[in-house]
Amino acid sequence: MPRWKALPDELDPQVREFASQLRRLVDRSGLSVAAVAERTGYSRTSWERYLAGRLLAPKAAVLALAEVTGTSPVHLTTMWELAERAWSRSEQRHERMTEAARADRARTAPGASGPARPAGPPADEGAAERRPPRAPGPPSGRHRRRIVMFLAGVIGALLVITSAVLLTDLGRSDDQPRAAPSPSRSTSASAPALPAGVKCVAASCTGQDPELMGCTDKLVQTVGSAKVGASVVEVRYSRICRAAWARLKQVAPGDRVEISAPAAAGYRVVADAYRDTYTRMLAVQGPAGARACATLKSGRSGCAAGRAAAGPSGAAAGGRPGGSGTTTTGQ
């Protein structure tokens, strides 16, 4: 008996291809739908709808599935964007067809004479009577009074603001120079401009969550890794934030991972679920000074040392070959 039911015939080709790709990822991972739900944080019912083509998976769920299955999120995100646009077009077509069907039922209703006029819903859409819309007419007396009071309030507020501006200008001598605005910290030349979404750099990143600070979205690299039993411990480094942190993959509850650097207090985290976990950040002069260590609940332990991060052209900083890490996104 096949694992998946056939996708609905009415699905847009882009949506059908995207749902089929999600199914292939789940099949290759060997995980059940329940295991996918547990590791991604989305319910089993939601994943059954996503994989059956009855509902389009949100982008966050797609990225979580890519992380769980070890898939590059770039191609998957492109497929999701195409499917999302196709899904929106299908919803708009469905709404137009529904409105047209209602209009046809109103025009062909039994007993209708002359041109069609607005009417209540058919008997199969509800028994409650719906009055036809009234033609627009002049506003009632109470409505007119409300409009007049509102306009009077707006005009009064404008007069007060205008008076305040005029009095301020009159109180200042024409030959008195206006004080130049003092430069703020945000415009100081010494403060580096950070990319959109990045909230810390260097020392201000120490002790912070890399995902919350936006350090996982800009040129993140795995600059060192080591196998510890069935798990993998990694040194993660952000060139934008100039900080490093440790990540442990394929974990079990009770496994520990920590990040350390010379002359800096390290950070440790203990896994509480069967999903990848990561530590807080440490500001480092370069990835070569960072060290990630893992101690499994089984007693096995191991460490990974950071290496020089590869530059934009693929060469390591300083002209040396880069580490084993590749540019990725995520923690």
How big is the CA angle at 280 (ends 266 and 60), to the nearest 5 degrees?
A: 160
Assess contact for 215 and 198: CB atoms under 8 A.
yes
Assess contact for 232 and 226: CB atoms under 8 A.
yes
Q: Which pLDDT score is estimated for 310?
A: 60
DSSP letter for each residue of 183-234: PPGGG-TTSPPPPTT----GGGGTTS-TTTTTTTSSSEEEEEEEEETTEEEE
Residue 247, helix vs strand vs coil: strand
Q: Which pLDDT score is estimated for 97?
A: 78
Task: Please check the confidence at residue 73 and state whether its pLDDT lies above 60.
Answer: yes
The single-letter DSSP state of residue 314 is S
Query: For residue 211, which of 241, 256, 254 has the smallest C-alpha distance?
Result: 241
Q: Which pLDDT score is estimated for 63?
A: 95
Task: Please check the confidence at residue 124 and state whether its pLDDT lies above 70.
Answer: no
Q: Which pLDDT score is estimated for 313?
A: 39
Indicate the pLDDT class of residue 121, thresholds 50, 70 and 90. very low
- Mean per-residue pLDDT over the chain, rounded: 77
Q: Which two tokens stand for residue 210?
A: 């890399």
Task: Please check the confidence at residue 277 and state whether its pLDDT lies above 80.
Answer: yes
pLDDT digit string, tens, across residues 195-228? 888 889 988 989 898 888 888 876 688 989 999 9
In percent, the amount of the chain with pLDDT more than 90 equals 31
Q: Is 318 or 85 the better-scoring residue by pLDDT?
A: 85
Task: Please check the confidence at residue 314 and state whether its pLDDT lies above 60.
Answer: no
Give Cα separations from 224 to 91, 109, 150, 247 (angstroms): 47, 73, 66, 10
Give Cα separations from 74 to 79, 81, 87 (angstroms): 9, 11, 20
pTM of the predicted protein model? 0.40
Chain mean position to CA 134: 45
Q: Which two tokens stand for residue 195?
A: 């990319």
Q: Which pLDDT score is estimated for 301?
A: 92
